Amino acid sequence: MLFPTFPDFFTTLLVTNCNQLKKKLFSCFARCIIKVTHKRYNMVFNSEPLKNRLQTARRIKHLCEQFYLDLSLAFVVKNNKQIPLSKLSLPDFFNFVKNIPYRKDPSPREIVARPYYIIKHRNLGADCKKKSTLICSYLRLYNWKYRAIGSSSRPDGIICHIYFELFDPVTKQWKPVDATYKKNVLFEKKTETAREVLK
């Protein structure tokens, strides 16, 4: 994958700020959510207490609304041609996202970020929140109807997973687009012990 020319200090600044941020957070016992955005060429870290999963879903959807055009900033090579991620079919984009290594955020932090940084640093891995951000951005790009789902496959039904569903106007049904794990299949029916729509 190739990216357009951006200042080299994107990566350096990310690492530097992350290290500084870790020092602050390790002294903080409160569970918090961190939103990574940008201001011109600088990374911006915003932290806030994490109250509930609805807050997480709102932050993800807000980043998608603001930055869904990030998908046109990265390219994949297909048939010896460079194609922006925004031009991939949904199945191809789904496969791209699910092949990003899975990596859980270090406790007690929950980190969400704009699509550009998730893609640029995808080799570091991504959890369900970050992969959902990419899927949501793609669905927003094409103005498809979507919704966030909080899900659980645990026996106790505790919801600890998020993914997005796409509304199929032909069948009038909501279909899961969960690219969290490599084994996942597009539109595959999910086995869940609990779920809720996150508005």
> In order of start, what are the domains of the chain with their CATH numbers?
30-198 (3.10.620)
pLDDT in the model for residue 49: 78
Tell me which residues of the chain have a pLDDT lower than 70.
Answer: 1-45
pLDDT in the model for residue 104: 93
pLDDT in the model for residue 168: 97
| HEC per residue, 128-186 | HHHHHHHHHHHHHHCCCCEEEEEEECCCCCCCCEEEEEEEECCCCEEEEECCCCCCCCC
Specify the residue for token string 């999910």.
190
Specify the residue for token string 């729509």.
197
Q: 43 forms bridges with which residues in the sheet?
A: 38
pLDDT in the model for residue 159: 95
Rounded CA separation 94/97 (Å) = 5
pLDDT in the model for residue 14: 34
pLDDT in the model for residue 17: 40
pLDDT in the model for residue 67: 95
pLDDT in the model for residue 106: 85
pTM over 0.85? The answer is no
Q: Name the token pair of 94.
A: 């789904």
pLDDT in the model for residue 85: 97
